[in-house]
Amino acid sequence: MSADIETFYGGSVLAMASENAVAIMSDRRLGMGPITVSKEFTRIHKIGPRLYVGLPVFIPDTQVLLKKIRKNYNLFRLEEQREMEPEELSSMISFLLYSKRTSPYITSPIVAGLTSDGKPYVSSMDSIGSITSPKDFVAAGTAGDNLIGICEALYRPGMDEENLFVTCTQAFLNAVDRDALSGWGADCYIISQGNVTKRSIKGRCD
């Protein structure tokens, strides 16, 4: 049985941006080392109307962090009387992580959403809050390295929503097929200016 705390529960998250939409995708497997405990687990959480966060790696820490994210998000809405921008959410999560740097949360959060003027935004962080916010894609989890490599080959700028979904799905399923700690299908959220669409994808169950 795996003794590595960063891979014990398994799971991976991918976020990809196009010209006017963003997709965030996660597998459904919850493991206990090599043993699959659940095949209906979600690592993607809705924070705002067009704002989502993916929390892979060590599940107990992600649950504590999620409560703090939602508390601070609600306080922000009460004080500012507006929705939080994706970049503001990233900065807030980064602050929460850095404030625990001496005993950090074992997670690598991914933020995906649209700004108030409809521009896509994706970012990822390490366990002490260092932010990376590229224009194309970010990935984390046990299949993170696989995802980055495949996305570099498949990603094309200026994709529409359907091509974004297809590219994201192809990259994700091929990456988790090469990772024993992720899989059992996936959930994908396509966030556009008009609506948010959730699609579920069947994958290998071995």
pLDDT at 1: 45
pLDDT at 3: 62
In a domain, 2, yes or no: no
pLDDT tens-digit readout, 149-170: 999 999 999 899 999 999 999 9
> Would you say residue 52 lies in a domain?
yes
Asked whether the beta carbons of 54 and 26 are under 8 A apart, the reply is yes
Residue 73 lies in a domain: yes
Closest CA to 88 of 69, 106, 104: 69
Give domain status of residue 104, yes or no: yes
Domain span at 38: 12-201
Residue 7 lies in a domain: no
Confirm whether 206 is domain-assigned: no
Structural domains counted in the chain: 1
pTM of the model: 0.93
Give the pLDDT score at 34. Answer: 87
Side-chain half-sphere of 99: how many Cα atoms within 13 Å?
8
Residues of the chain under the 50 pLDDT cut: 1-2
pLDDT at position 95, please? 98
pLDDT score of 194? 83
Establish if 1 belongs to a structural domain: no
Alpha helices in 2-138 (DSSP H): 59-80, 86-98
| Residue 152 within a domain | yes
